[in-house]
Structure 1
């Protein structure tokens, strides 16, 4: 490394936060595809060289902004002592699924299929930690007996977020805390307490209640 390069100031602290916040603001305004390093530099009042000293590519800058910026969706692991409480505490309110969070997610949806570098970093660094938080919530609930032992946590874990994203981006219905509560109460909680078809309880239920067409064949 040259003496000149070594003497360049590092992008860190409040200056770094300003650049990341500016990146998310531009994502919401223009979307990932139209976002450029030049535009971020202009909005953050920084040189493009400053950005490239810290982030080698647009993908790396955007992923870090999604992880750290104030407007980006953040969830924390809230151990309230119940599955319902954990889910509502995690997904409701300012930290959970809100208007800003859905705008940010909408801005990068197309990039997941068009930019392999971004998609890989996004799933590894942004999505994976959130999946881990949700999985921990369901594991605790399973240990408390709130979730049936044979429930597939890898399937049920993303269900709440998946329903909310479908309503937002496919049906055009923005999420709110009341909707999250309805999904938890009417979909998630009944699902985790219901035995799976392949589990011992599921097989017992199937043998106790034979299919309607089988009963019909035995009817004179």
Structure 2
């Protein structure tokens, strides 16, 4: 007698999904994010990713069902906190290091933001995945840096600029390509922090 589990379509699908190794999954995710950066979200197709990774498109559809689900999974798998671990014991130096770190990844992340700009307004799962991956962890890490500085007495805890430091740093990263056609690299962001952020916090 054939067991119910063996006949259950969800069980069969789960078994098929389990055949994709973590290394192969990473290859798929890297390919989808790079194609978004290069061609834009609207131009991305499951067929294109399948071709570039030498797999069948049915493999991708079986695993992720739709393009938005696939992209959201790739974003979440790519989650990194670039400001994590920055703790020099000095708020000035922490913010300088954060500027350098932001400059190291601003090119790729800004291109990804730009390419996903319209799509994330139409798909809540994509919007949430983008925030979970590229926004919320970095804001939380910056706020932790600022909290430690306030606890050490380097900045007054009621300084009104504290609330806006994440917006200042993220804003200039996103805005510079629009204003000048250049990405905000480490040198630019370091100058910005020293000229605008530190004075706003009273750290001259």
Under TM normalisation by the shorter chain, which class is it? 0.7 to 0.9
- Which of 157, 160, 163 is matched with 1:149 structurally? 157
Aligned residues: 192
Specify whether residues 173 and 73 from structure 1 end up closer, same or farther in structure 2 by C-alpha distance, changes over 3 A only.
farther
- Which of 156, 161, 171 is matched with 1:162 structurally? 171
TM-score, structure 2 as length reference? 0.79
Tell me the CA shift for residue 95 of structure 1.
Answer: 7.7
Question: Bigger shift: 96-105 or 26-35?
Answer: 96-105
TM-score, structure 1 as length reference? 0.74
Question: What is the CA deviation profile of residues 96-146 of structure 1, one whole-angstrom value per residue up to 9, with x for unaligned ones?
Answer: 434333322322223233434422332245422222111111111111222
CA RMSD, Structure 1 to Structure 2 (Å): 2.7
Structure 1 gap segments, 5+ residues each: 195-220
Equivalent residue runs for 1:29-68 within 5 Å: 29-68=38-77
Asked if structure 1 preserves the Cα contact closer than 8 Å seen for 2:68 and 2:125, the reply is: yes
Tell me the CA shift for residue 93 of structure 1.
Answer: 4.8
Question: What is the CA deviation profile of residues 166-206 of structure 1, one whole-angstrom value per residue up to 9, with x for unaligned ones?
Answer: 11234323212111111110111111228xxxxxxxxxxxx
**In structure 2, C-alpha distance between the alignment counterparts of 1:150 and 1:185, rounded to whole Å:** 21
Specify whether residues 60 and 4 from structure 1 end up closer, same or farther in structure 2 by C-alpha distance, changes over 3 A only.
closer
Question: What is the CA deviation profile of residues 35-82 of structure 1, one whole-angstrom value per residue up to 9, with x for unaligned ones?
Answer: 12222222222222322343243223223323444xx87513111222
Structure 2 gap segments, 5+ residues each: 1-7
**In structure 2, C-alpha distance between the alignment counterparts of 1:163 and 1:94, rounded to whole Å:** 11
Specify whether residues 151 and 27 from structure 1 end up closer, same or farther in structure 2 by C-alpha distance, changes over 3 A only.
same
Query: Partner of 1:103 in structure 2?
Result: 111
Asked if structure 1 preserves the Cα contact closer than 8 Å seen for 2:95 and 2:193, the reply is: yes
Question: Bigger shift: 10-19 or 81-90?
Answer: 81-90
Specify whether residues 59 and 120 from structure 1 end up closer, same or farther in structure 2 by C-alpha distance, changes over 3 A only.
same
**In structure 2, C-alpha distance between the alignment counterparts of 1:74 and 1:45, rounded to whole Å:** 31
Asked if structure 1 preserves the Cα contact closer than 8 Å seen for 2:82 and 2:101, the reply is: no
Tell me the CA shift for residue 8 of structure 1.
Answer: 1.4
Tell me the CA shift for residue 26 of structure 1.
Answer: 0.5
Equivalent residue runs for 1:8-87 within 5 Å: 8-10=16-18, 11-69=20-78, 75-77=82-84, 78-87=86-95
**Greater helix proportion:** 2
